[in-house]
Amino acid sequence: MHCWCVLLVVVVSGGFGAAFQDLQQHHVQRLKKKLLAGLGFNNQPDISKMNVSREEYERMYRVYLQSVEMQRLQEEDEEAQQALPQTFHSIQNEPSSAPNSMNGVLSHDVDSWWLYFPVHRELDSSRELDTAVVRVFVQQHRHRPRRKAVPLVLRVFQLLPDGEQLMLDERRLDPAGGDRWVQLDAVRAVDTWLDEPDSNLGLKIQCKGCRLNGADIDTQEKPPNSLDGAVLNVLTSPFASSHARQKRAAWEPMSDRRTQCKNTKNKCCRHSMEVVFKDFEDFQYVVQPAKYDAGVCRGRCPASYNPSSHHALIQGLLWRKDRSRAPRPCCTPHKLKSLQMLVLDPKDHTKLMVVDFKDMEVVNCACS
């Protein structure tokens, strides 16, 4: 069972990995079906049909965070006790709160809109940034021009002080998809704004093909607590060891609290193995976590080293006595934990759901 779980996380993390490239396509499909079955799904959610309202998105984000916190409290190991809670932030588009010097920062060109989110007012710079997405509502007008439909391409750009624009994310939409909420990654811009507040010139949303298809984006500034209009959703967590903000790397594994490898001289131990779900087309329906440390077990298993059970000790003794009668103990997960996931509901593309995905993270390793 443990070996199958290692196979599962390697498949997710390594894009099926070099070891699986020679598998026939139907074998790959079988592995995908097992992953979906682990989530309790019969079919993979269709991300192209995703249309989750702001109210549903924010409600389920809080349900997800409550599930993560409940799991943390229920776990008995040291890592769980030291884990720190995350916080969800919903920041509304407020062009009126932008500095006066920013007026006219973006001329309203065709198919482009300017957004400004007062990150400095809403976020504490002592907190670590986990994820940040800008969500906009694409409206499909009933009377669109009579012409052949063209693809909709939605892009988000960070406006830079030197007048340049940095593209952060892109999403292609079905022009016949109707009204829908669309989210785009903005973590790079928010991370920069936390380090350099004066560099916040806002974001540019570009929708190629919108006007040709009779579509528009609702970016108007709304009253407080309105569920309409553009919004920036951010997930943060406090730094474990310092209140001073540090420059965030592209991704850093969690602190060494789960029998990570150190001074083992290549013996069996737990190595980090990152999984970034958005890097894989088949996992675009995963809203949270954006990434996590799945862990992987590697290393030698000398006689009597870190046995997983008395059976492992007996197996090791038997292997030393007669190698034809038993295999040498190998490094495998000794304890795994489930992963709380916020995903698109495969039965209703306007809803999100929280799933407890079993045996997704290696806690520690042993020889078995």
Q: Are residues 319 and 278 in the same domain?
A: yes
Q: Are residues 102 and 231 in the same domain?
A: yes
In degrees and rounded to multiples of 5, residue 91 shows phi and psi of -110, 125
- Residue 143 within a domain: yes
Q: Residues with Cβ < 8 Å from 236, sequence gap 6 or more?
A: 86, 87, 89, 123, 124, 127, 128, 129, 130
Q: Are residues 106 and 190 in the same domain?
A: yes
- Residue 294 within a domain: yes
> Is the distance from CB of 54 to CB of 233 less than 8 angstroms?
no
pLDDT at 255 (0 to 100) = 35
Cα Rg of the chain, angstroms = 24
Where in the sequence is the domain holding 198, given as residue range(s)? 85-239
pLDDT at 179 (0 to 100) = 86
How far is 51 from 182, CA to CA, in rounded Å? 7
* Neighbouring C-alpha atoms within 13 Å toward the C-beta of 182: 28
CATH code assigned at 15:
2.10.90.10
Q: Are residues 235 and 261 in the same domain?
A: no
- Residue 67 within a domain: no
Q: Are residues 312 and 263 in the same domain?
A: yes
Q: Are residues 261 and 141 in the same domain?
A: no
pLDDT at 266 (0 to 100) = 83
How far is 215 from 120, CA to CA, in rounded Å? 32
Q: Are residues 163 and 294 in the same domain?
A: no
pLDDT at 30 (0 to 100) = 79
- Residue 363 within a domain: yes
Q: What is the mean pLDDT of each run of 10 residues along the chain (368 residues)?
A: 42 47 64 82 87 92 92 64 74 86 56 91 83 90 61 91 91 83 93 90 90 81 78 84 43 41 79 88 88 91 82 85 87 91 93 93 90
- Residue 13 within a domain: yes
Q: Is 82 helix (H, G, I), strand (E, B) or coil?
A: helix
- Residue 101 within a domain: yes
How far is 52 from 165, CA to CA, in rounded Å? 28
pTM of the model: 0.63
- Tell me which of 214, 239, 264 is where a domain ends: 239
- The helix (H) or strand (E) run that includes residue 183 is strand 180-185
Q: Are residues 170 and 265 in the same domain?
A: no
pLDDT at 247 (0 to 100) = 45
- Residue 74 within a domain: no
Q: Are residues 223 and 261 in the same domain?
A: no
Q: Are residues 231 and 93 in the same domain?
A: yes
- DSSP characters over 221-272: ---TT-SSS-EEEEEEEE-SS-SS--PPPS--PPPS-S-B-SS-TTBSEEEP
Domain count, the chain: 2
- Tell me which of 213, 239, 265 is where a domain ends: 239
CATH code assigned at 101:
2.60.120.970
pLDDT at 110 (0 to 100) = 66
> Is the distance from CB of 350 to CB of 52 less than 8 angstroms?
yes
How far is 328 from 326, CA to CA, in rounded Å? 7
How far is 175 from 210, CA to CA, in rounded Å? 8
pLDDT at 240 (0 to 100) = 54
> Is the distance from CB of 62 to CB of 188 less than 8 angstroms?
no
Q: Are residues 272 and 316 in the same domain?
A: yes
Q: Are residues 232 and 278 in the same domain?
A: no
- Residue 162 within a domain: yes
- Tell me which of 239, 272, 293 is where a domain ends: 239
Neighbours of 266 (CB within 10 A): 9
